Amino acid sequence: MADSSFTRMGSLLANVPGLKEAKDAPVTNTEQIAWRAAAGDDISNHTVVRPHHGEWQIVADSPVWGDAVRQRQADILNALHRANIEVRALKIKVRPRNASPRTTTSDNQNAAKRLDSKTADLLAQTADGLKSRDLAEAVKRLSHRGGRHSG
């Protein structure tokens, strides 16, 4: 038989960053493909699936993606069930960020982290137009780091 340019999905998935961290729980190609189909590319690019006895732990790379899974949880579970994947529940976790030891920051360093007032105002306006109440509140909190509070 001649060589084929066909590449198995499993070998491609093994090279995806973040999936290597799920070595402790075997994920079959079927489960990974079902997760990508149910959750969509955006969410699945920022999550790792760890199936365990009918409950899937979903590890998101940031709180934003964990919240995205939470908001779509019912739809995702329905899509998995339609694909004949037995999942009772999704347990959503956010991967802890690598925290480096920090020294006490000076006021000058904190001032450099503040947003300029124009950006802060834009964030506040954006928050007013968001459908997700939780996301709107988070964006408003971020906007408070702006020039309005940097006396």
| Residues 22 and 83 reside in one and the same domain | yes
The stretches of 17-115 forming alpha helices (DSSP H) are 29-39, 41-44, 63-82, 107-113
Q: Which domain holds residue 126?
A: 107-149
pLDDT digits (tens, 9 = 90+) for 84-116: 888 999 999 998 655 344 544 555 555 556 778
- The Cα–Cα gap between 30 and 117 comes to 49
Q: Does residue 3 sit within a domain?
A: no
| Distance from C-alpha of 28 to C-alpha of 117, rounded to nearest angstrom | 49
Say if 24 falls within a structural domain.
yes
pLDDT at 74 over 60: yes
Asked whether residue 1 is assigned to any structural domain, the reply reads: no
Q: Please check whether residues 90 and 121 belong to one and the same domain.
A: no
| Distance in angstroms (rounded) separating the CA atoms of residues 36 and 28 | 12
Same domain (yes/no): 89, 115: no
| % of the chain beyond a pLDDT of 70 | 65
**Domain tally, the chain:** 2
Q: Look up residue 20 and give its DSSP letter.
A: G
Q: Is the predicted pLDDT of residue 50 greater than 80, yes or no?
A: yes
Dist. CA 44–CA 70, nearest whole Å: 13
Nearest to 7 by CA among 28, 29, 31, 25: 29
- Calculate ∠ Cα 34-36-40, nearest 5°: 130
Q: Cβ distance 117 to 130 under 8 Å?
A: no
Residues 28 and 69 in one domain: yes
Token readout for 59 is 């590890």
For 74-78, 101-105, 116-120, which range has the lowest pLDDT when averaged over its residues?
101-105
Average pLDDT, the chain: 75
**Residue 24 sits in the same domain as residue 54:** yes
Whether 39 and 88 share a structural domain: yes
Least confident of 3-7, 37-41, 58-62: 3-7
Amino acid letter for position 43:
I
